[in-house]
Structure 1
Amino acid sequence: MNTDTKRYGGRGRAREVLPAAVRGLVLALVVLPFSTLFLVLALVSLGLIPIGLGLVTTPWVLTGVRTLADTRRRLADEWCGVRIPAVYRPLPESGNPWARTAGMLGDPQTWRDLRWLAVDITAGFVTALLPAVLLFYPLEGFAVAAGLWRPLSSYGGYWYGFVHVTDQTSALGAGALAAALLLLTPYAPRLLTAHFRLTASILGPSQGELAERVRVLTETRRDAVDTSAAELRRIERDLHDGAQARLVAMGMDLGTIEMLLDKDPEKARQLLARTRQSSVDALAELRDLVRGIHPPVLAERGVGDAVRALALRLPLPAEVNVDLAGRADAPVESAAYFAVSEVLTNAVKHSGADRIWVDLHHAEGMLRVTVTDNGKGGATVGAGSGLAGVERRLGTFDGVLAVSSPAGGPTLVTLEIPCVLS
């Protein structure tokens, strides 16, 4: 049994009819006119792009369209329990109007929003108005049957639906039609749900896009498994060639020292000093290895302070701004930290920048990190690049990476990971 059947039981409930009719009327007469306004503004703004003016107006207009679409998503969920996912891509936060316009127009969800506006002012208007028609139009039919037809007859009669009212008999026919319509009013809530399901069919991602998303997630999960296996092999190799080798050498030196204590104390002291230095080196290697696996500051104080500590070790001045009201899950923090580390390493090595800015904040269920540098630009997410590895790392958590790096700079790298803060 589906949700509609359970909720309305085939006939509906009287207490749900009036709210559905009022909400449909509000949508048709108050909310839907905004769809017309924004569709006209969007078409005009897109038409002005070739002359440059549209580059400035389009981001503002499309932001308004997104706000309108998000409002309809919220109403669909609150009024009828219809959930419509929003899958907007992250936008560059730079002040470059061309970058924001190109980012919005390159987002498939933007074009779904515009198609929805066109449907909303046609079929959407009808499906929103029908619940109110089923409830309020019969009242007019009863009024006509009760005598309202008389003052109307002086104007050549009156049409109620398909009934031409010219006398009392035809007026009673209008009343009968009104009674028939009134029997359909329990289905008003279903009609309102149909309006939102129509909205969901346009605003929601297509099956092809969902299949592509599943494919990408499958690949990123496989990449995560391969990366984990490679990381384990690296740790094993580092332990074998580094700290383990030093500890073996220290054991041998200590054995030699035992034999030389009585025969050659001076030589024993020299070996003891060398062994002490080997222990210091082994401890340093182990600390570096542990820091590479999971930095202690990340575990103790969270990703914000871990990124601050990372920025202090950079050879370039870096300004870090953190606005986080809590902590994400440890795997998410780890992914964000190492992704930022890779982005900063790329900036230091390849950008030619003399300053870096890092911003971390949480909004709309997303941990969002932006890294900006004033270098020469030209960064791309290509095969074999560090940014491609970052993209695969984020993909494991259904995160995304966006890069805006025009020639001459600046470069803006945005990372987003869905999460909640504790």
Structure 2
Amino acid sequence: MDGGTVTETRQRETRLQRHVRAPWRGLALGLLGIPAMLVGIWFITVVSLITSFVGVLLFPSATMLLRTQLDAYRVRINRWTDAKIQRPYLPEPEIEPGLNGLLKRFARLISDPATWRDYLWAAADPIVVLFTAALPGLLILYGLWGFALATFAGGMIGHYGGTDWYAYIHVTEGYDRDAARLVSTVVIATACVVAGHLIGPKMLEVYGQWGRFVLGPTKKSELALRVQHLTETRSEAVDASAAELRRIERDLHDGAQARLVAMGMSLGAIEHLLDKDPAKARVLLAQTRESSAKALHELRDLVRGIHPPVLADRGLGDAVKALALDHPMRVEVTADLPERPEPPVESAAYFAVSEFLTNAAKHSGASQVWIDLRYDNGMLRITVTDDGRGGASLDGGTGLRGIERRIGTFDGVLALSSPVGGPTIVTMELPCALSSPKTSPS
């Protein structure tokens, strides 16, 4: 079987799985509507009491309860559909104690448009879900009930004097001896099961669009969330810059500066020994020359840590390839960058890749790493894959969270896939423009 046929087979298997799973996912979303409806009833009850102090006191907790319930919807809709829904709530400052803090929090929550959109969801979703996500699953269940009627349940109903209707077919005494009614039941049941599986993915996507429309952020909350994100990333960028300056100062003080001071003292001693003890002066000169070479090497390493010359001269692709050559593991690099990203983005991407490789060497137990760099639709996309043991996480203390914060300064995002047993795949995307030729002119 050639590669194309294998790919097509996998795609067919994926579509088949999607058609099989979508109806049951829709039913799960429908069942989620039951607690959401109950929470919505409690919320509107609290709202009806707002004219009294009891309503003001209970409103924040009722709102938070509703938000918690609908966060479960967002997680599942994001996981099961292509509709990606962000939390729409306006950023909430630190809660102040006392009555004044309670009133301020009440005012913030009641003026947040997302609060009332949440209630709209809780009120309308039990109806919407029945005609979208849950409909395919209900059709399949109805079809399965038809098969049960045709095999044993219809005869039992008739035997005990019961009566029922399956679509237009009357299930009563003698039903199990009427071939025409049995065949009709099987045909309708089969049609329901097939239709449920066929329309399952489409109905789930329609439901996802409904979820994004109601549960997603408004323009106001998008702007507020954007401001909050920029504030956080600016603070993190300032902290990172301060930490980098402290590192440079420490490296200069402990390394090159200390050697230069020692060289100055040695030169002073040599000056006094030239006439008295030339042989000892020559020994000190040799040691001073070694110290000067070490100081120069440390300065070069320091400069390389600030902005590697190969990155400045050759660009990100060649700089990562040079990084791979010096790495103890086997590293394969594929770079498809027609031009160079902006220098700050290029530098952030380079050091992120360097950190990924360091993590792989220290923690993954991998023997080989694959790095793919490409630019597509305004995004610099970098994928680092290793064949290690897996099990990495953003909270595992491996530096990935720091990388995520650092690229967040540029509106970058980081995605991690690391199942136990491997492989570990880290994908990083940075929005940027390609602004200069691939290599700088000489």
Equivalent in the alignment of 1:105: 79
Equivalence for 1:264:
277
Query: What corresponds to 1:69 in structure 2?
Result: none
Which residue in 2 is equivalent to 1:361? 374
Task: Read off the aligned partner of 1:244 and give its amino acid letter.
Answer: Q
Distance change in 2, residues 1:383/1:405 (3 Å): closer
Distance change in 2, residues 1:304/1:273 (3 Å): same
Do structure 1's residue 351 and structure 2's residue 351 form an aligned pair? Answer: no
Q: CA deviation at 1:203?
A: 11
TM-score by length of 2: 0.52
Q: Which residue of structure 1 aligns with residue 177 of structure 2?
A: none
2:426 aligned counterpart, secondary structure: strand
The 5-angstrom pairing of residues 280-359 of structure 1 reads 280-359=293-372
Taking structure 1 as reference, are residues 355 and 42 closer, same or farther at Cα in structure 2, changes over 3 Å only?
Answer: closer
Is the aligned partner of 1:222 residue 2:235? Answer: yes
1:349 shift after superposition: 0.5
Runs of 5+ unmatched residues, structure 2: 1-16, 27-74, 87-124, 133-209, 436-442
1:109 counterpart SS class:
coil
Aligned-residue offset at 1:420: 1.1
- Give me the whole-angstrom Cα distance separating, in 2, the residues matched to 1:261 and 1:323: 60
What is the Cα deviation at residue 234 of structure 1?
1.1
Superposed counterparts of 1:79-94, under 5 Å: none
Question: How far off its partner does 1:43 sit?
Answer: 7.7
Change (3 A) 1:366 1:353: same
Query: What are the equivalent positions in structure 2 for 1:268-279 lying under 5 Å apart?
Result: 268-279=281-292
- CA gap 1:213/1:45 in 2 versus in 1, 3 angstroms: farther
TM-score, with length taken from structure 1: 0.54
The alpha-carbon deviation at position 48 of structure 1 amounts to: 6.2
Aligned to 1:170: none
Question: How far apart, in 2, do the equivalents of 1:357 and 1:372 lie?
Answer: 5
Amino acid at match of 2:321: R
Per the TM alignment, residue 205 of structure 1 is displaced from its structure 2 partner at its CA by 4.8
Cα pair distance change 1:383/1:316, threshold 3 Å: closer
Q: Distance in 2 between matches of 1:324 and 1:239?
A: 35
Deviation larger for 103-112 or 274-283: 103-112
* Displacement after TM superposition at 1:109 (Å): 3.5
Q: Quote how far apart the aligned CAs of 1:45 are.
A: 5.5
Provide the residue aligned with 2:23 in structure 1.
47
1:106-162 Cα offsets, whole Å, 9 max, x none, are 7883469xx9xx9xxx9xxxxxxxxxxxxxxxxxxxxxxxxxxxxxxxxxxxxxxxx
Residues matched between the structures, number: 252
Indicate if the aligned counterparts of 1:374 and 1:411 stay in contact, CA closer than 8 A. Answer: yes
- For the 8 Å contact 2:274–2:281, the answer to whether it is kept is yes
Deviation sequence 1:266-293 (CA, Å, 0-9, x none): 0000000000000000001001100110
- The answer to whether the 8 A contact 2:85-2:216 is kept is no
1:248 aligns with 2:261: yes
Moved over 3 A (4+): 41-45, 101-104, 106-112, 200-214
Give me the identity figure in percent.
65
Cα shift at 1:42: 7.7
Q: Does the CA contact (< 8 Å) of 2:77 and 2:83 recur in 1?
A: no
Q: Name the aligned partner's letter for residue 391 of structure 1.
A: E
Instruction: Please tell me whether the aligned partners of residues 109 and 203 of structure 1 are also in contact (alpha carbons under 8 angstroms).
Output: no
Give, in whole Å, the separation in 2 of the partners of 1:284 and 1:266.
Answer: 28
Contact 2:388 2:424 in 1 (8 A): yes
Residue correspondence of structure 1 range 363-378 to structure 2 within 5 A: 363-378=376-391
Q: 1:390 to 1:103 in 2, by over 3 A?
A: farther
Contact kept? 2:233, 2:405, Cα under 8 Å: yes
C-alpha distance in 1, partners of 2:421/2:76? 18
- Aligned mates of 1:403, 1:230 — CA distance in 2: 26
Q: Give the drift of 1:103.
A: 11
How far apart, in 1, do the equivalents of 2:401 and 2:359 lie? 12
Checking the alignment, whether the CA contact within 8 Å between 1:357 and 1:371 is kept in structure 2 is yes
Distance 1:280 1:294, change over 3 A: same
- Structure 1 gaps of 5+ residues are 1-40, 51-100, 123-197
Q: Counterparts of 2:241 and 2:324 in 1: how far apart (Å)?
A: 26
1:323 is displaced (CA, Å) by 0.2
Q: Which amino acid aligns with 2:393?
A: T
Give runs of aligned pairs for residues 172-191 of structure 1, distance below 5 A. none
Query: Which of the numbers 224, 234, 237 marks the counterpart of 2:247?
Result: 234
Write out per-residue CA displacement over residues 242-273 of structure 1, whole angstroms, 9 at most, x where no aligned residue. 10111111111111111111111100000000
